[in-house]
Amino acid sequence: MTIQAYLLLSAITFILGVIGVLTRRNAIIVFMSIELMLNSVNLSLIAFSAYLGDVRGQMLVFFVMTVAAAEAAVGLAIIIALFRNKRTVNLDEINILKW
């Protein structure tokens, strides 16, 4: 396998994540799509790390994953708080972020 395959996979998952963020209405799914984008970037980082024989890229990915876990906890907490206030997690019904 060459690096192109990894990068192609990474690009495809990233684009899927973007499409998910832009098109889905449910906040949870949007959130998962964001995680997908994050991990697709992790994948390309790992691929380059292995390709260049440099272990530092893999170390960096561990850090990214740790931060992502923390961020997921915060994000889910926000969604719960949002649901408690609005009784919905549909993003197109939450439009107070204006004027």
Binding site for other proteins (CB under 8 A): 18, 21-22, 30, 91-92, 94-99
- Closer to other proteins by CB, 19 or 59: give it: 19
Question: What is the closest distance, in whole angstroms, from the C-beta atom of residue 8 to other proteins in the complex?
Answer: 17
CB of 82 to other proteins, least distance (A): 11
User: Which residue matches tokens 């260049």?
Assistant: 52
Strand (E) or helix (H) holding 65: helix 56-86
8 A C-beta contact, residue 13 and residue 46: no
Nearer to other proteins, 23 or 58 (CB): 23
Instruction: Report the first-to-last Cα separation within the chain, whole angstroms.
Output: 52
